[in-house]
Structure 1
Amino acid sequence: MPPLGIVGWVIIGGLAGWIGSKIMGTDAQMGIVANIVVGIIGGLIGGFLLGFVFDVGSGGKIFSFLTCLLGACIFLAIAKAFMGRSRQ
Structure 2
Amino acid sequence: MTGLGWIASIIVGGIAGWLAEKFMKGDHGLLLNIFMGIVGAMLFNAILLFIFDSTLGGWIGQLFVGFVGACLLIAIIRAIRGRA
- In which range does the TM-score fall when normalised by the shorter chain? 0.7 to 0.9
CA distance in 2, matches of 1:67, 1:54: 15
Q: TM-score if structure 1 supplies the norm length? A: 0.84
Please identify runs of 4+ aligned residues in structure 1 that moved more than 6 A: none
Aligned residues: 82
> What is the aligned-residue RMSD (CA, Å)?
1.6
Identity %: 34
**Hey, what does 2:63 align to over in structure 1?**
65
Q: Give yes or no for contact 1:13–1:39 (8 Å, CA) kept in 2.
A: yes
TM-score for the superposition, normalised by structure 2: 0.88
Following the alignment from structure 2 to structure 1, what is the Cα–Cα distance between the partners of residues 16 and 7?
14
Structure 2 segments unaligned to the other structure (5+ residues): none
Pairwise CA distance, 1:24: 1.1
Rg bigger for which structure? 1
Q: Deviations over 1:7-45 (max 9, x none)?
A: 00000000001111111111x2x1000000000110111
